[in-house]
Amino acid sequence: MPDLPYSIAADRNKEPILAVLRQLLGASGTALEIASGTGQHAAFFASVLEGWDWQPTEADPQLLPAIALRVAQAGLANVRPPLLLDVMAPHWPSASAPFPHRFDAVYCANMLHISPWSTCAALMSGAARHLVEGGELVTYGPYFEEGCAAAPSNLAFDASLRARDPAWGIRRVSDVSAQAQRAGLVLLERHAMPANNLLLVFRKGARTLLNRAASSQHEAPSGAEPANGAPR
């Protein structure tokens, strides 16, 4: 049996993320995951959130067989075959084979800081196209916030990312929120997570709730700091 790609960070953060998803998601629905990577989150969340149909996607075609094998080994009937999807594409997953329906939730972890800024606008517009009215986009990863001192580990991590690729880097919550609003999504919730990460919840068609979103953005971050440059 071949060894599957494995992310220590994905294994470490799955439980804190699940705790928020349990509060956020209903008993059943359909979820689209962007940038599924190793497929660890897809397999874990689908195994616990049994009423949810999970659609993993990945831009790297070499990772698709590993995601499919991980799901098969877990015996999960509520995870669909992984699809090749480039978030920058104007049609998801492709013009010739569009999704047949909209999703109740879109989930994306640890993508925005390791891709060009243009992927943020693409993620927001794509999520808005493919979410049902009132559906939610959930993003997880490191962010900078105005009015909150940045953790030294996040500053070091940001510097290391930009040294690898000048187009990469930790994004500001205010910038991400502005992109979301242009696409018709509103930042509703901000959850401080371990290792100085944040989980952000955006809702489609929630413009009347802007005041709640604004107040939730200013909670003080918490969580232990990882070693400089450590996986998130």
Query: Tell me: the pLDDT tens digits for 123-165?
Result: 999 999 999 999 999 999 999 999 999 999 999 999 999 999 9
Model confidence band, residue 3 (pLDDT cutoffs 50, 70, 90): confident
Instruction: Tell me how long the chain is.
Output: 232
Provide the phi-psi class of 7: left if phi over 0, else alpha when psi is between -120 and 50, else beta: beta
Query: Tell me: the pLDDT tens digits for 86-137?
Result: 999 999 999 999 999 999 999 999 999 999 999 999 999 999 999 999 999 9
Distance CA 223, CA 174 (A): 21
The domains of the chain, with CATH numbers, are: 8-216 (3.40.50.150)
Query: Tell me: the pLDDT tens digits for 150-205?
Result: 999 999 999 999 999 999 999 999 999 999 999 999 999 999 999 999 999 999 98
Look at residue 2 in the predicted model and tell me its pLDDT.
Answer: 62
Provide the phi-psi class of 197: left if phi over 0, else alpha when psi is between -120 and 50, else beta: beta
Model confidence band, residue 1 (pLDDT cutoffs 50, 70, 90): very low
First to last CA, the chain: 28
Look at residue 230 in the predicted model and tell me its pLDDT.
Answer: 41
Which residue is it, tokens 């944040």? 198
Percent of the chain with pLDDT over 90: 86
List Cβ neighbours of 96 (8 Å cut-off, separation of 6 or more). Answer: none
Q: Is the pLDDT of residue 227 over 80?
A: no
What pTM, to 2 d.p., does this model score? 0.89
Q: What is the mean pLDDT of the chain?
A: 91
